[in-house]
Structure 1
Amino acid sequence: MSYSKLTRFSEIGKKIIAVGRNYSEHAAELGNAVPSKPIIFLKPTSSYIPKICQNVNYEVELGVIIGQKGFDIPENKAMDFVGGYTCALDLTDFGTLGTSREARGPWSLAKGFDSSCPVGDFIPKNRIPEPDNLKIWLKVNNTLKQDDNTGNLIFTLPQLISYISKYMTLEPGDLIVTGTPDGYGPVSHGDKIKAGLGDVTEISFEIERL
């Protein structure tokens, strides 16, 4: 897959694979135990659409963009399948999520609505040589709300890529959003969001409710 095509990962990627509760302090603020295996769910590619229109909570995440096709990838080869990175948000309708959890149902509606996964620019792999030691942060109306380091991920990038690929083929342009740190919270119409990965890249947008 060429660089020019990977820069359009949000157009060519077939799936968005998300990881839940992958920072211990976030699990604690949710009142959940630290998982023993990755919690995996999917978001549709329609959630890339830049139309923020729900009552949602923000969750900033490191996005990993797959660069080549792979299945049943061993951990020691996993990073060879990474094409680049992006700053992503896993926006969540927590009201709907609570109802789904009570009914022991899927998270699809709470996590997969249009605009629930805004992403920043494609970052070539060589610009982030230490993805396991990367500051991740988010501000709401210029107030810092989330501030952590990917070194605190419970499941590392190689572990996630290897685990996911045992169940589904990873293809060029697919996005893995790797989990959010603690400090998540609600946003309202007109709030200005800014988030980033260290000083390498940032994403910004305003919440709009239709």
Structure 2
Amino acid sequence: MSYLFPPVTPVGLPVSGTDDVYPVRRVYCVGRNYAAHAREMGFDPDREPPFFFCKPNDPESVVPVHAGETITLPYPPQTSNYHYEVELVVAIGKAGKDIPAARAAEHIFGYAVGLDMTRRDLQMKMREMGRPWEIGKAFDYSAPVGVLHPLAGSGELNAGEIVLDVDGEVRQHSDLTHLIWSVAEIISNLSSLFVLQPGDLIFTGTPEGVGAVKPGQTMAARVGNLEPISVKVA
């Protein structure tokens, strides 16, 4: 038996301090996990169970951003409201299901800075119609991710600034302590719905200040002491 055509090679994310790459298996995202962002999107940020959506894991969707480089993203089709969302990305390194929050760190490989790029007008249209968000969230080049920093070297990351600039102007600025659901709680909840595996990425939510970006503008995103990322829109 042979494949009819070559299977897709997994996306490999750079790992700080090594030439190894982290192969991406699945991409999970947490919706509305900062109270102020939930309010700006028109929702009451109570502590109901977190909800999740997914992005594709293929090379056309997950875009590695190496240290010191500025990558270029093409402005996506069928939108006139292309939004940035800076997020802490958690990379899973050990399989597990029904993981207690107190043991969640045992399953973390490391952390990175990510952007959950969004066709906001399409997302809102689907939301109003009660339909899935895929066309607003799961399009080509929708998930730039920076260098992964292993937990073994950095320790758990539960606090720190999360910031996004557009052409040098601060647009998003908060702290990881403002997450409604902590990283450990996210992992615990998500692992009750899916068996987590090495290679899984979790985008943990974005703070307030989301907005549109246009061709020619450059986004700079950072979280704590992680390697920042720089992304220009073409």
Q: Give TM-score scaled by structure 2 length.
A: 0.82
1:8 and 2:31 are equivalent in the alignment: no
Distance 1:84 1:6, change over 3 A: farther
DSSP-derived class of the 1:27 partner: helix
Aligned match of 1:39:
51
Relative to structure 1, the CA distance from residue 103 to residue 172 in structure 2 (aligned partners, 3 Å threshold; closer, same or farther) is same
**8 Å CA contact retained: 1:64, 1:176:** yes
CA change 1:6–1:88 in 2 (3 A) is farther
Unaligned runs of 5+ in 2: 1-14, 64-71
Structure 1, gaps ≥5 residues long: none
Q: How many angstroms does 1:31 deviate by?
A: 1.3
Distance 1:6 1:85 in 2: 17
Which residue of 2 is the match for residue 70 of structure 1? Answer: 96
Match of 2:12 in 1: none
Distance 2:230 2:128 in 1: 33
CA RMSD after TM alignment: 1.9
Give the count of matched residue pairs.
204
Higher-Rg member (1/2): 2
Bigger helix fraction: 1
Alignment of 1:47-86 (within 5 A): 47-49=61-63, 51-54=73-76, 55=79, 56-86=82-112
For the residue of structure 2 that corresponds to 1:201, the secondary structure is: coil
Matching residue of 1:25: 36
CA distance in 2, matches of 1:62, 1:82: 13
Q: Is the 8 A contact 2:112 2:226 kept in 1?
A: no
Q: 1:188 to 1:7 in 2, by over 3 A?
A: farther
Where do 1:43-192 residues align within 5 Å?
Answer: 43-46=55-58, 47-49=61-63, 51-54=73-76, 55=79, 56-192=82-218
1:16 positional shift: 0.4
Check whether the contact 2:113–2:226 (CA below 8 A) recurs between aligned residues: no
How much identity, in percent, do the aligned residues show? 35
Structure 1 stretches of 4+ with a deviation exceeding 6 A read: 3-6
Q: Is the 8 A contact 1:21 1:27 kept in 2?
A: yes
Q: Which has the higher strand share?
A: 2
Q: After the TM superposition, which of the residue ranges 43-52 and 169-178 deviates more from structure 2? A: 43-52
Q: Classify the secondary structure of the residue corresponding to 2:159.
A: coil
Deviation at 1:7, TM superposition (A): 5.1
